């Protein structure tokens, strides 16, 4: 009897020690085929130590140089596949797109998207399909194209006017100008007016967007489901998510309230914006599957427009102007094209832009070198498949490193980091590519639905800025020495604000 009780008192600790040892040995051993290659991981934290405090897309790119274009990493207990070549991106975004097109669940995204009612972060299901259709038909489609073009023209004309009145030889903060411009365009088409002057609860628009981008990333709780939530609680992340959600929710609620009041006053058709369209769909039970949009569905859609539409467009404009100014040769060639296409007309119009082939190459080169979301939005595997001959199992997250793919020497030659728009004269590469040589807008079912609209706004803005002004870096700094450091993780922006001196050119002088 005594022997038996001694045996039992040793049994539990022995099993515990054996299990922990096995786990330790297993995690230190390189994984066997057909699992993808994996950098050596540590017990419990997996590969997180290799990523902490560093720029994630660059670190993953460096690891891929050693371990290959398909790697398996562990963020705590969560497995993530990392894709770093165009051929592997094609397997994920085309061949097996149907099996890899859902999204991982993160605490921050769950809260900010009204429990996954949005498009960008929600799982691949019927609700996502329905919401995407509503966004495309009511905001991005032909119904709103005329309004988009009218509002864009007006807002850019205002911006050019205000730049013309800027004291000579002083720098303008173009980050602020582009944010104000994009917010005004999207705000007017989506919400009927720009709400930027009226920050709510003390947070400015920029602060709200920046904070949301941080909160949409993964947290301790996501990577360590058993105990991570305690760290999020103690570290204050859960509180930050709540504050961020409340700020955004108040902002969106105010937009909705004003529209509900307007409907009561009977808005005429020409004044109707995206939010009016959503309210009509809600009252008519008019979505394609006949279901009714809930209030939270509408809020989540407004969030997609607000977060998806504004930030990445602004970030791209900033990178484009930075590269153009840094590369004087490109700036001069581009200005010559723009000024030749427009001639001496008093203003640019859309038909001028279609003739500007070099402008399109410059923008493509910008999005190749600076994809605003360098790892896209993470995908997740729904069902077992093989990528590059390796097994991928359900629940595995997938990062597609657009930044690394756009630097592959096989496609981009020996100087892939050089800003050289002329490379597109001979390379037939497009944004939503057949061969996935560059994927700044993702691909497959999850391709960015707003890319055409964003490109149109950016092209028109750049053409105007370069038609009306020459640009210089202030304080005697040479243009080629412009600081190009990056900052951020989900969205990677220029670290320091882009401040440039506009030098007015009068169109009458341009003959
Ligand atoms: C230069 C500007 C833009 C860039 C670089 C960009 C980039 C991206 C990327 C990389 C994705 C993820 C694709 C994937 O996971 O495979 C995405 C998704 C998305 N974007 Fe954009 N985007 C831009 C502008 C816009 C605009 C103007 C809108 C308009 C509202 C928009 C709305 C969305 C939405 C709703 C999604 C989620 C799609 C889904 O998951 O089904 N984006 N975008």
User: 41 exposed, middle or buried (CB, 10 Å; 0-12, 13-18, 19+)?
Assistant: buried
Number of H helices and number of E strands within the chain?
22, 11
- Poorest-confidence range of 55-59, 217-221, 373-377, 467-471? 217-221
**Is the CB of 449 within 6 Å of ligand 1?**
yes
Instruction: State the CATH class of domain 55-510.
Output: mainly alpha
* 34's tokens: 């057909």
* 116's tokens: 């996954």
Q: Give me ligand 1 centre to Cα 308, in Å.
A: 6
448: annotated binding-site residue? yes
Q: Measured from the CA of 118, which atom of ligand 1 is nearest?
A: 35
On average, the pLDDT of the chain sits at 88
Output the pLDDT for position 29. Answer: 44
Output the pLDDT for position 471. Answer: 96
Q: Using 50, 70 and 90 to split pLDDT, how confident is the model at 170?
A: very high
Q: What is the pLDDT of residues 455-511, one digit of tens each?
A: 999 999 999 999 999 999 998 899 999 999 999 888 999 999 999 999 987 655 544
A 10 A CB-CB count for 127 gives 18
Of all residues in the chain, the percent with pLDDT exceeding 70 is 87
User: Mean of the pLDDT values across residues 66-87?
Assistant: 96
Q: Give me ligand 1 centre to Cα 353, in Å.
A: 23
Say if residues 500 and 321 touch (Cβ distance below 8 Å): yes
Going by the DSSP 8-state scheme, the letter that residue 143 receives in this structure is G
Output the pLDDT for position 273. Answer: 87
Output the pLDDT for position 22. Answer: 43
Q: What is the pLDDT of residues 366-378, one digit of tens each?
A: 999 999 999 999 9
Q: What is the pLDDT of residues 236-258, one digit of tens each?
A: 999 999 999 999 999 899 989 88
Residue 61 has pLDDT above 80, yes or no: yes
Q: Using 50, 70 and 90 to split pLDDT, how confident is the model at 142?
A: confident
The protein residue with its alpha carbon nearest to ligand 1, atom 17, reads: 448
**Is the CB of 440 within 6 Å of ligand 1?**
yes
Residue 346 has pLDDT above 90, yes or no: no
User: Mean of the pLDDT values across residues 399-410?
Assistant: 97
Q: Which residues pair with 172 in a beta bridge?
A: 500
Q: What is the pLDDT of residues 266-325, one digit of tens each?
A: 566 666 789 989 998 888 765 555 568 999 999 999 999 989 899 999 999 999 999 999
Q: Which residue has the tokens 């660059």?
A: 58
**Shortest CA distance to 300 belongs to which of 76, 128, 506?**
128
Q: What is the pLDDT of residues 1-48, one digit of tens each?
A: 444 454 445 544 554 454 444 444 444 444 445 889 999 999 999 999
Helix (H, G, I), strand (E, B) or coil at 379: strand
Q: Which residues pair with 200 in a beta bridge?
A: 203
In this structure, is the dihedral angle defined by the CA atoms of residues 400, 401, 406 and 410, taken in order, positive or negative?
negative
**Is the CB of 311 within 6 Å of ligand 1?**
no
Q: Give me ligand 1 centre to Cα 314, in Å.
A: 13
User: Mean of the pLDDT values across residues 199-226?
Assistant: 83
Output the pLDDT for position 15. Answer: 45
Q: Tell me how far CA of residue 108 lies from CA of 127, 312, 457, in angstroms.
A: 20, 19, 30
**Is the CB of 453 within 6 Å of ligand 1?**
yes
**Is the CB of 304 within 6 Å of ligand 1?**
yes
Say if residues 177 and 195 touch (Cβ distance below 8 Å): no
Question: Where would I find the H helices in 29-67?
Answer: 48-51, 56-67
pTM above 0.75, yes or no: yes
Q: Give me ligand 1 centre to Cα 134, in Å.
A: 15
Rounded CA separation 421/418 (Å): 9
Q: Hey, which of 139, 312, 365, 401 would you mutate to test ligand 1's pocket, going by the most ligand atoms within 8 Å of its Cβ?
A: 312
Rounded CA separation 227/240 (Å): 19
In this structure, is the dihedral angle defined by the CA atoms of residues 207, 211, 213 and 216, taken in order, positive or negative?
negative
Helix (H, G, I), strand (E, B) or coil at 134: helix
Per DSSP, which regions of 248-381 are E strands?
A: 379-380
Output the pLDDT for position 4. Answer: 42
**Is the CB of 397 within 6 Å of ligand 1?**
no
Residue 195 has pLDDT above 60, yes or no: no
**Is the CB of 442 within 6 Å of ligand 1?**
yes
Q: Tell me how far CA of residue 311 lies from CA of 118, 180, 456, 476, 490, in angstroms.
A: 17, 11, 15, 30, 11
**Is the CB of 488 within 6 Å of ligand 1?**
no
Q: Hey, which of 112, 308, 368 would you mutate to test ligand 1's pocket, going by the most ligand atoms within 8 Å of its Cβ?
A: 308
């Amino acid at each position: 009897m005594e022997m038996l009780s001694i045996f039992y008192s040793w049994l539990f600790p022995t099993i515990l020690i054996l299990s922990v040892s096995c786990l330790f040995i297993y995690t230190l051993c390189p994984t066997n085929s057909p699992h993808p290659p994996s950098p050596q991981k540590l017990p419990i934290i997996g590969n997180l130590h290799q990523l902490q405090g560093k720029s994630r897309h660059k670190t993953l790119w460096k690891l891929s140089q050693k371990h290959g274009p398909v790697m398996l990493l562990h963020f705590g207990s969560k497995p993530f596949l990392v894709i770093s070549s165009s051929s592997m991106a094609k397997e994920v975004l085309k061949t097996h797109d149907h099996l890899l097109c859902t999204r991982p669940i993160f605490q921050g995204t769950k809260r900010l998207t009204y429990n996954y009612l949005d498009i960008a972060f929600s799982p691949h299901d019927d609700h996502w399909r329905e919401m995407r259709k509503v966004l495309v038909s009511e905001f991005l489609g032909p119904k709103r194209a005329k309004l988009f073009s009218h509002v864009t023209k007006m807002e850019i004309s205002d911006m050019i006017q205000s730049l013309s009145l800027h004291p000579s030889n002083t720098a303008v903060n173009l980050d602020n100008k582009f944010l104000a411009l994009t917010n005004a365009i999207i705000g007017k088409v989506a919400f009927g007016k720009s709400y930027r002057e009226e920050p709510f609860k003390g947070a400015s628009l920029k602060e709200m967007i920046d904070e949301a981008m941080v909160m949409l990333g993964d947290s301790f709780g996501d990577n360590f489901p058993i105990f991570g939530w305690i760290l999020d609680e103690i570290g204050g992340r859960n509180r930050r998510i709540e504050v961020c959600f409340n700020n955004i929710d108040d902002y969106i609620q105010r937009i909705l309230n004003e529209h509900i009041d307007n409907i009561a006053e009977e808005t005429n058709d020409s004044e109707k914006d995206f939010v009016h369209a959503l309210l009509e769909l809600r009252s008519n039970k008019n979505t394609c599957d006949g279901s009714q949009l809930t209030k939270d569905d509408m809020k989540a859609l407004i969030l997609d427009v607000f977060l998806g539409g504004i930030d990445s467009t602004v970030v791209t404009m900033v990178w484009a102007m930075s590269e153009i100014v840094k590369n004087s040769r490109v700036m001069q060639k581009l200005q010559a094209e723009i000024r030749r296409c427009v001639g001496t007309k008093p203003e640019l119009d859309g038909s001028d832009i279609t003739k500007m082939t070099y402008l399109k190459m410059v923008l493509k080169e910008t999005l190749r070198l600076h994809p605003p979301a360098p790892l896209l939005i993470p995908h997740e595997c729904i069902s077992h498949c093989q990528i590059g001959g390796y097994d991928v199992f359900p629940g595995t997250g997938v990062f597609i490193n657009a930044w690394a793919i756009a630097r592959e020497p096989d496609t981009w030659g020996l100087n892939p980091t050089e800003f050289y728009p002329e490379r597109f004269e001979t390379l037939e590469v497009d944004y939503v590519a057949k061969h996935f040589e560059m994927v700044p807008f993702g691909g497959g079912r999850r391709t960015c639905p707003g890319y055409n609209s964003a490109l149109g706004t950016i092209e028109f803005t750049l053409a105007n800025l370069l038609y009306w002004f020459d640009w210089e870096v202030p304080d005697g700094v040479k243009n080629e020495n412009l600081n190009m450091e990056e900052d951020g993780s989900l969205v990677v922006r220029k670290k320091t604000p882009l401040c440039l001196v506009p030098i007015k050119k009068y169109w009458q002088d341009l003959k």
